[in-house]
Amino acid sequence: MWFKNLQIYRLPAPWAITPEQIEEALAPLKFVECSSQDMSTQGWVAPRGNDKLVYTVGKQMLLQMQYEKKLLPASVINQVAKARAIELEEKQGFKPGKKQMRELKEDITEELLPRAFSIKSSTRVWIDPVNGWLAVDAAAASKADDILKSLLKGIDKMPVTNLNVATSPGSAMTTWLAEDDAPGGFTVDQDTELSASGESRAKVRFVNHTLEPEDVRRHIAGGKQCTRLAMTWADRVSFVLTEGMAVKSVKALDVLKENEAQSFDDDERFDADFTLMTGELAKLIADLVLALGGEHKD
């Protein structure tokens, strides 16, 4: 159940809130399936299929946002509208105008929507009230921001802020590559991306490629800055750090998997995995912030 991505936000450490308080705050924002005329909907669901919106192990909390979206391609609407327009032209003696076509498509959408297929997806949120972290398992920052808006809507005066560090990730990663010297506790892996900031927006990517210091320095000297860098923390977790402070492609390494118990039932295994994940990632985030010069307080 490890998160694949971390969009990281800051909370007070410790944050004095209980799972019951969060549960009560998010109850009005529970997920409700699309009605016949809804194109999409979203809301909070129980992460483990019970009636609890907040799943807790120790003091660590897990939330889950559910999405449902109807699949009604524009090409289908246009195809039906074209056929209806021909019938309408024969009936009224002239082609439908723009207003008529717009109204026709709106009627067709309303007619087809109840029969449209729907897809569901979900995004998990980890709240660490002990160390003051909130992380969303989303690759895109925009999705994480939408989830944060839902939390702020439900939890009155939620004290969450962006995570601000003293040294920008792009600048720090570029320095690590230029000096061929990763920060303590981290190693640089074989994937990276360097981008120029000029009009050309030129990029160079290394994938599963040994990073030769001289090659990298040449690109940096040419005006490129590191925007993505694959790294490993403490020989335990690998990840990709981006210039926007997102942690992506998170993967637990063998040294952690070796400690996984094999005799647990599903619930015990989930609890053990969640405990292991939150414990390791809380330390990783703290070390990463330290490597980036610590937090920058506005």
Lowest mean pLDDT among 2-11, 52-61, 258-267: 258-267
Q: Which residue has the higher pLDDT, 80 or 47?
A: 47
Q: Region 27-42: what's the mean pLDDT?
A: 89
Lowest mean per-residue pLDDT among 99-113, 114-128, 144-158: 99-113
Residue 10 confidence (pLDDT) above 60: yes
* Percentage of the chain exceeding pLDDT 70: 96
pLDDT digits (tens, 9 = 90+) for 13-24: 999 999 999 999
% of the chain beyond a pLDDT of 90: 60
Q: What is the mean pLDDT of residues 190-208?
A: 83
pLDDT in tens, 213-245: 788 888 888 888 999 999 999 999 999 999 999
Query: In sequence order, what are the beta bridge partners of 295?
Result: 165
Mean local confidence (pLDDT), 140-169: 95
Over range 146-169, report the average pLDDT: 95
Q: Give residue-wise pLDDT tens across range 119-135.
A: 899 999 999 999 999 99
Please indicate whether residue 122 or residue 107 has the higher confidence score (pLDDT): 122
pLDDT at residue number 3: 97
Give the per-residue pLDDT at 96.
Answer: 86
d(CA 273, CA 84): 56
Cβ atoms of 2 and 252 within 8 Å: the answer is: yes
Residue range 144-156: average pLDDT? 95
Mean pLDDT of 184-208: 86
Q: Which of 22-36, 93-107, 197-211, 230-244 has the lowest mean pLDDT?
A: 197-211
pLDDT on residue 258: 67
Q: Could you tell me the pTM of the whole model?
A: 0.85
The highest-confidence range among 85-89, 103-107, 227-231, 267-271, by mean pLDDT, is 227-231
User: Tokens standing for 155?
Assistant: 């939890």
Confidence band, pLDDT 50/70/90 cuts, at residue 260: low
